[in-house]
Structures are given as structure tokens and as C-alpha cells.
Amino acid sequence: MDVIEEGRSRVILKENGVLNATACDYPGSYTFDDTWSHEKFKKIFSVQIVKWNEREMEFDLIGIHAAIANAFRRLLLSEVPSMAIEKVFVYNNTSLLQDEVLAHRLGLIPLKADPRLFEYRQPGDEDGTEQDTLEFQLKVKCTWNTNAPKDSTNPDDIYKDHKIYTRHMKWLPIGSQGDIYKAKDVGPVHDDILISKMRPGHELDLKLHVVKGIGKDHAKFSPVATAFYRLLPEIILTRDVEDEQAERLQKCFSPGVIGIEESKHGKKKAKVLDARYDTCSRNVFRYEDLKDAVKMGRIKNHFIFTIESVGALPPDVLFIEAVKVLKLKCRIFLDELNRA
């Protein structure tokens, strides 16, 4: 790889600094023609799914600019909508939790309701409709357990309903919602989220309104626990590293990054197995005899993207929704340019 190409496509990790960290992949930064081409972009761009389940997905975005990857991250965090408890009507709260603290805890409970099936509630609308609101009731009273063993001191034995979980939330369908949805499809993601602890005489009587919103307005509407990306690490051995040096080199990196194999002469020889999950700690630079053996960098246009959903929508659907939001923003921008 020549110096120009390395400057364009790699971030180089040195002992006391980082080289090529600034962006230089814009037209005109080099003497040769480097204008953006849609055909060229289609050839180099790809999405590769590495790991997926209903809550988490790790995939590679290859061939895009850092600004685009960051746009997806920010959209997932703040502009892809979800459903959350917005209004808490307190009819009775004799627990130790203040109304405001209780309402805040309730608002952060992740719900299964699909935001794509609901509209945004109109400003000033306090009651809501079946198209934009879900209603829940939380009505629990803690009492003594008359059948508890006399010598027991365990709260689970001597009290009834002293721990309030999300399973105590009861869905109250509005209009024809009962014919369209099922309670298991709109309720809390987990039934065992602890809301409050109570003692005999404490009581909660609440009505909860769930609406559609975005994380830019409040973090409770963010559909992801987190969404982040990092550049793909690249590790190149510049010379043979054998025996004790090979074992020491292996310990400088994360497990599974450097392997050791038997060479033809019966010696132990280090080799790069998989640089993907290396943390780029640069521990190797602590050893004078190993500094020159490794070249470390990161590939500028290869992003390892991770999405962790809170549970309402799977992570792959969330990413598609983020793409839709970005497309809409681009369409609005182009319409504004055409009208200018």
C-alpha cells in the first residue's frame, strides 16, 4: 500500500499519537481525480451482518463516510420513535415514593407496543384517542399475609403485594383496541421490572397514558439501549516473531487476536488470527524488542456498528426505520433547494 492510499484509507496508531485521523476523502484533497461517483459507491458499499438476535445486532458498514455512520447512530438514539408512558394520573399514592419520582420510573419502562401502528398525539389533547394512546392502570394495595408462619421475618412471607412489578400494570383498551391488539403485544417488555416496594397500608392507584415520541424530546422515547460504532482494527506483523517474543506479543492484545503456530523449524511463531475485536490498547509499544514487529491501524471506511434494542422492535427493524428517517430528511432538503 502506497503512502497516499494509506493516508486516505487508514488511521495509523503510533506509540505516542495517531496519524491520518483527519478526513481527507473529499474531492480535491489529492492531485488526481477523486470526485464522488454513484457507480463507484455501489461497488464498494456493503452491509454484512455479523451477529443478530431479537435484542442486539452487530453488523459492518463498509464503504461509507463517517458522517453517514454517525447520522445513523444519532437517528437511532433521538429520532426513531417509540412508545412510552407520558401522563401519570395519580388518584392515590401512599407509598414512600414521591409522585414525581414514581412517574419518572414509570416513564422509563420499555414497552412492546409498535410505534408504527400509532399516530403522534396532538398538542393540547389530554384524553387521547385509540389511534394515538394506550391506557394502563396500576392499582395495588399492600396487606398483611394472615397465613404467614409466625416466626418468619421474610417480607415475602408476611406481606402481600409488597413489591410492585410491571406485571401489575393492567391494559385498558380504548375503543376498538381490544379487537386489534393483545395485552401481551402492547405491555411492558419484561414483567419483572420492579417499580416500588410497599408495606401494609401503602397503596397505589394510578392511570397511565402511553404515547408516541422521539428521544430528542425525552430519553424515555429512545428505542435503543445504545447504538454505537467503531472502526475495524487492522494489525500487520512486519517481521517474524517467535518463541518467547511470540507469547509476549500474544498477551499484548485481546484474546483471539494473536495466535501461535508451529513453524517449519519447530519454533513457535506468532500470527494474526482476527483483529476485529482488538481494543487497540497499544500495549505492544511497552516492549522495545517488539515495537518494530507490529503495524497497527484502523480502516477509515469500515464501521463495526452495534445496536441494542430495548425490546419494542428488533434491531434490524430499528436500523431500517433510521434509514427511512434519513431519506425523509434528504427529500425535504431537496424540496427546499428546488423551491429556492
Give 198-234 pLDDT, tens digit per residue. 999 999 999 999 999 999 999 999 999 999 999 999 9
Indicate the average pLDDT of the chain. 91
Looking at residue 24, its pLDDT comes to 65
Mean pLDDT on 143-170: 93
Backbone angles phi, psi at 189, to 5 degrees: -65, -40
Predicted confidence (pLDDT) per residue in 323-332, tens digit: 999 999 999 9
Looking at residue 76, its pLDDT comes to 97
Predicted confidence (pLDDT) per residue in 299-313, tens digit: 999 999 999 999 999
DSSP state at residue 188? B
Looking at residue 239, its amino acid is R
Residues 6+ apart with CB under 8 A from 118: 83, 131, 132, 133, 134, 211, 212
> What percent of the chain has pLDDT above 70?
96
Backbone angles phi, psi at 302, to 5 degrees: -120, 105
**Half-sphere exposure of residue 195, counting CA atoms within 13 Å on the CB side?**
29
Is the CB of residue 260 less than 8 Å from the CB of residue 269? yes
CATH superfamily for 81-222 is DNA-directed RNA polymerase, insert domain (2.170.120.12)
Mean pLDDT on 261-273: 86
Q: Please state the domain extents for the chain.
A: 81-222
Mean pLDDT on 246-270: 89
Looking at residue 248, its pLDDT comes to 94
Distance CA 104, CA 195 (A): 10
Look up cell 422509563; give the residue: 108
Looking at residue 202, its pLDDT comes to 96
Mean pLDDT on 57-65: 95
pLDDT band with cut points at 50, 70 and 90 for residue 316: very high
pLDDT band with cut points at 50, 70 and 90 for residue 37: confident
pLDDT band with cut points at 50, 70 and 90 for residue 14: confident
Distance CA 30, CA 46 (A): 25
Looking at residue 21, its pLDDT comes to 80
Looking at residue 26, its pLDDT comes to 60
pLDDT band with cut points at 50, 70 and 90 for residue 6: confident
**pTM, entire model:** 0.88
Q: Which contiguous run of DSSP H or E holds residue 195?
A: strand 194-197
Mean pLDDT on 69-79: 96
